[in-house]
Structure 1
C-alpha cells in the first residue's frame, strides 16, 4: 500500500499534501492536549510497532504481498489524532531511510494510512463497542472489526488514486504517463488482498491487543475511554493509572517476532501491487510499448535511502538484514515520536506560562 514515486502525477501528489498537512497541524495541537507526559513513551512504542508491522510483508497467493498498519489500535488507545502523528512519522522514516514508499507520494500515503485508516477504524470500533464495559468481549470484537475496516478503507483509497491516473494523465496517443492501471484492475487487486488477508491480519492484531490489555492493563485502555465503566470499580473511586510501558521489553519482543516471522515474508516473490520498479512492469499485460515517461522520470526522485529495501547487510543474509533494519527502524521511529511529542508539549507549556504571566501583569 506504500505508493512509490512516479505512480502518481505531481499534481495528484500535491493533492495528497493538501490533505495531509492540515491533518498533521491538527494532530500536533490535539496530541499536546490529549497525550500527557506519562503517555509519551506509550505513543513512542506504538509508533515503533506500527513501523514494524508495516515492514512485515504477508505473501498473497497471486505472488504479491500486503501488510498490516497498526493505525486503529493506536487510535483506540490514545485517540485517532495520536495515530495520525505516530503512523506519519513511521511512514516518513520508511520513505527516507528504507525507500519504502515515495517522498512525492508521502502525502497520499499518510492520507491513506495515517489519516483515513485510524479514523475509519476508530469510528467502526466506537459504533460497535457502544457503551459496553472496558473488559467486555464486545470491545475486543469491535477493535478487530475496526482494524479490518480501517485498513480496507485505506486500500480502497489507494486503489482509486492508482486507478484514475491513466484517465487523467496520458499523452496525445492515449498512453498513460504514470501508473498504467485502470480502476477495473486496481480495485480488484487491492481489495482482494486486503479483504481476504491483510484485513484479517489487521483485525487479529487490533482485537488481540485489546483483548490482552483487558486482562493485563485495563488502565491503559482507559486513557482514551474516560467515563467508560470497568468491573470492580466503586462509584467515585479514582481509577488506577496505566502500567508503565517498557520500550526495551517491547523492542526485544518485536525482534523475537521478526526473527520468527521474517522468513515467511521473504518467501513472497514480488512486492505489493503497484510497487514494482519501472523495469519490472509487464508492458505486454498493460498494452504498453514502453515504461510510462512520467513513471520513469519520477520513480527515482528520492535516491538517498541509506538502507534501501531494508537491506542492512549483503544479499547473502537477507533475513539478518531485514531484522537489523527492523531494530534500527524501531529505535529511530520510537525516539523521533518521543522527541517530537515532548517538544510539542514543552512549547505548549511555555506558551501557556507566557500567557499566564501576561495576564498577571495586565491585572
Structure 2
C-alpha cells in the first residue's frame, strides 16, 4: 500500500534487464552509443517527427529546466499554472538554468489553465517595454499536478494563444504516458500537432530507474541544448545506461502498458474512495494520481497498517494525495479502501 508517489516504485524488470545487458563490454560515451541512435529513431517514429532532436538526462527537473532555457532568456517570462511542478517543486531550477527568467503563475481550477486565465496573464506581461520581463514561453503540465489531464484540443487552445503572441510552448510530461493512456491520443496529437515545441518525456515515474527525454520538435535548437546540457553538468559520461533504460521503456510499447496499469489502479482506488460515506475526491481523478479526503479514523487505520501516502495540507480536513504506480496491485488498492472505510 505504497501510494506516496509513482517514483517510489522500483524499476520494471525489462528496464533492469536492459541495464544488465548494457553493462557488458564497451560503448562510446557522452551519447554516441549505438543504443542512443536506436532510441532517437524510435522516438522520432513514435512522435511522427523524423527531424526531432532527442536528448536524455537523468531527472525531470533538469529536463524541464534545460528545455525551457533554450527558449527563455534571462529577461523572459515562463507562463505556467500556479501549481505547476516547475513553480512549486523545482527549487528555482528553471530560473537558474535560464539565468533568471520569471515564472508567471496562471490560475485555473483542478490544476489546469484555461484560455481565459492564460489570455489574462498574457495581456498583463510584456507590455511595459524595457522595464518589465518579456513574454518567452508557455509551459503546460500533462498529467497536471492535480491529477487531471489536458486533451489535445485543450492543449491546442492554449498554445494558439501563446503562438498569437509569438511564443513557443513546452510540455512537462513527467507523466506523459499516463496522459496518453487517459486520452487515447497519439503522442503526435498531444505534442507538436497541438502546438508543442519541446517536450520533457518522462520515464522515471513510470518504471525506469532514472531517465527523461527532451524532445525538441525544432531541431534548430539542438546545438544550444547540447551546450546547455554540458555546461549545466548533465551530460552523462556512461550515457549508455540512460539509453538502455529508454530503449527498454519504448520497446514493445512497454511505456504505455506500464502507464495503463497505473491508470487502472488509480481509477480503482479513486472509485473505491468516492463510494465511501464521508469521503470524496478534491479533483477529478483522470490518471494515476488523486486527491481525496476521508475520516481521521480511516487515516489512523491505514497508517497503522503501513500505508504510505502524503497528508495534504489543504481543505477539506482529512485530505491526502495518493499516487498509483506501474507496480500497484488490486490487492493494494482494495485493502486500502477497506482500511479507510
Of Structure 1 and Structure 2, the greater helix share is in 1
Same topology, TM > 0.5: no
Q: Name which structure has the greater RCO, CA cutoff 8 Å, separation 6+.
A: 1
Q: TM-score, normalised by structure 1?
A: 0.27
Q: TM-score, normalised by structure 2?
A: 0.28
Of Structure 1 and Structure 2, the greater strand share is in 2
